[in-house]
Every structure is written in C-alpha cells, then in structure tokens.
Amino acid sequence: MKTRITELLKVKYPIILSGMSWISVPELVAAVSNAGGCGILATGVLKPEQTREYIQRTRTLTKKPFAANVTFYFPGSEKNAKVIIEEKVPVVNYSLGKGDWLSKEVHKYGGVVIATVTTLKHALAAQRDGADALIVTGYEAAGHGGAVTSLALVPQIVDAVNIPVIAAGGFADGRGLLTAFALGAEGISMGTRFMNTVESPVHELQKKLSIELSAFDTIYTDKFDGLPARMADTRGARRLIKRWLNPLSALFLSRKIANLLGLPWGKIFLGIMLAGPKTAIQMARMATGFKAFEVGTMDGDNINGILPLGQITGIIKDTPKVKDVIERIIKEAHEVAKQVEKKLK
C-alpha cells in the first residue's frame, strides 16, 4: 500500500498508533511498527529520564520507524522534547502548543514532524510552523478529540493544507481506512482499537468493557482534565464530572503534578498562583484527571478511575494481536474497495 504517509514515514501501511498516556508504551509501539504501521510513544506523563529510557527500550524492540509525542499542555513537556531531539527519534508528534522551534530542531537531524490538530486554524498554524503532516482528530475519538466529526473535519482540512493528513477518531477497520482515503486523508491513526489488543498494557477488565460498550456509552466533557475529552461512561467518569473544584484545589494538587512529572514543586505552585483562577481550576482538573486515567487504564478501576474510549468501540468485538488487527484492516479495505467499485458501475 502506497500513500504520501507511507512514503514520508517509510512504513508499509498508513496505520498509526495514537500516543496515549500509560497505554502507548514501548511494547505496544514496537508491535505496531513491527507489523508495518508506525507506533507513537506517549511521553506526556513521563519524567525526562523515563522518556529517554522508553525511547531506548523501544529501539531494542523494533528496528522499524517509530514516533514519540510531546503534549505541550503538560508541564515539563519541553524537557521531554529536548530528550526526544537528543535521541533523534525519527518521527516526532506534537499537540496542544506551538511547534515551530520543535520542527526546526527535528528537521536538523532529518526527522519528520507530525502535528495533532482538531481545528482548521490549528492545522494552518502547524503547516506554517513546519509540520510535515497532520493528525486530524475528530469528535468521535477517545481522549482529546475535537468538536467536529471526522467526516466533516478531515475533508475541510485536507482541502486547506498542502501537507498529508492522517485521520483520527472513528477508525478501527478496513471500512474506516477506505473512508479516510475517500475523505482525502493519506492514512489513519487509531487509539481505541489498539488499546484493546494483546500487546496493550491496559487492564483486561477494560479491554472486556470496550467490547461490551456501544457508541452510545461514552461521555465528552472538559470536566475530566480541563480539556474536552471522551471517556467511557462509568461510575468513575460520572463522579469526576460532578466533583467541585475551586482555585485553591489547584494549589493543593500542584504537588501531585510536580511529583508525577519530576518538576520543582515551588515552580508549579508559583505558576498556578500567577495564572489566575480559571487556569488554576483547569490545572486542578488536570491533576485529578492524571491519576484517574492511570487508575482506570492500569488498575481496571471504574469507580476511582476513568477509561479513554472512542465511539468506535461499538464495532470492536475482540482482543487480537496487533499484527492481526493491521492485516485484517488491509484485507478488509481491499474487499470493501471491490464492493464499492461494483456499486459505482
């Protein structure tokens, strides 16, 4: 299969693993890359030394191209970015921030930069800042998807930019891949589908839950971690939404943020103090959200934790190996293409 994305990333198939905190670890990243796609290593909740360790571990598990992501919304993200640059990771994915300086540094060693966006404005800005490709994330996606569905968002951005687009949000099979091509995208990025695979570190109870739930069993709100995000509709998710926070909560929770990311607590504390009440509440939500994500995904706890889950979970009915997922998608895409061709005659 040949698209602008397979050529840009030097991979066999235009199928990308979303960079999901606590989920997109070296073992899952390598499994996707070894199967012909491109895995994205999530670094958002890692300390710089952990980021370096994860990159090096990924390299021991695959000789194929892989990526690492930087989420500029998270405190300490620039330190992780510098580690990624020092390690010369072949593909760097960034989101929720300005990536001009990152693009410049990655291009110096011949790397590829992919920006994740949810709006046309941000897509144009990322292209202007030097991104080589875009992951365009629609409303259907798990985690931080946009406010517009992939069906409407992807073609609008494809028509407005010159760089290749990877469609994300609502993709899990060959029908989805073919649809992405029809919308003008050059590939797909999947989170929920890869989350429920043998190689995924997510708790088995959550994989089972993703099979049981339908497209109607998710919640989209900014009450989880301060940004609009989609999670499974569970008791833990409902509890987190109802939790009342005030600016002082952020000061109390700032130590948790600092400990998680290995940053000086005083610096985080001062930053929250100077940011104002609105940002302070957002930071408080981020701190509580971080812990809930970890407890939900790793411990399978749907009372105290939450599970990022896309609406596409409604068509996911098994827990296969990553290699089988990718091979199945490619086979289905060819079969569906033949069926569509017959209908067009």
**Does a structural domain hold residue 305?**
no
- Tell me what pLDDT residue 291 has: 77
Q: Which residue has the higher pLDDT, 73 or 284?
A: 73
To 5 degrees, how large is the angle CA 58–CA 59–CA 64?
A: 100
Q: What confidence tens digit (pLDDT) does each residue in 86-139 have?
A: 999 999 999 988 999 999 999 999 999 999 999 999 999 999 999 999 999 999
- C-alpha 331/C-alpha 246 separation (Å) is 52
Instruction: For the chain, give the mean pLDDT.
Output: 90
Q: What confidence tens digit (pLDDT) does each residue in 167-213 have?
A: 999 999 999 999 999 999 999 999 999 999 999 999 999 999 999 99
Would you call 119 exposed, middle or buried from its count of C-beta atoms within 10 A (0-12, 13-18, 19+)? Answer: middle
Place of tokens 């994300």: 168
In a shared domain, residues 162 and 140? yes
Q: How many domains does the chain have?
A: 2
**Does a structural domain hold residue 33?**
yes
Query: Residue 274: pLDDT above 80?
Result: no
Structure tokens at 39: 């895995």
Query: 171 and 188 in contact (C-beta within 8 Å)?
Result: yes
Q: What confidence tens digit (pLDDT) does each residue in 244-254 have?
A: 555 555 555 55
Q: What is the percentage of the chain residues whose pLDDT exceeds 90?
A: 74
Query: Residue 75: pLDDT above 80?
Result: no
**Does a structural domain hold residue 312?**
no
What's the gap between Cα 80 and its chain centre?
16
Query: 131 and 103 in contact (C-beta within 8 Å)?
Result: yes
**Does a structural domain hold residue 340?**
yes
How far apart, in Å, are the Cα atoms of 274 and each of 103, 251, 289?
30, 11, 22
- Give the residue numbers spanning the domain of 54: 4-199+321-344
**Does a structural domain hold residue 240?**
yes
In a shared domain, residues 178 and 233? no
- Tell me what pLDDT residue 256 has: 59
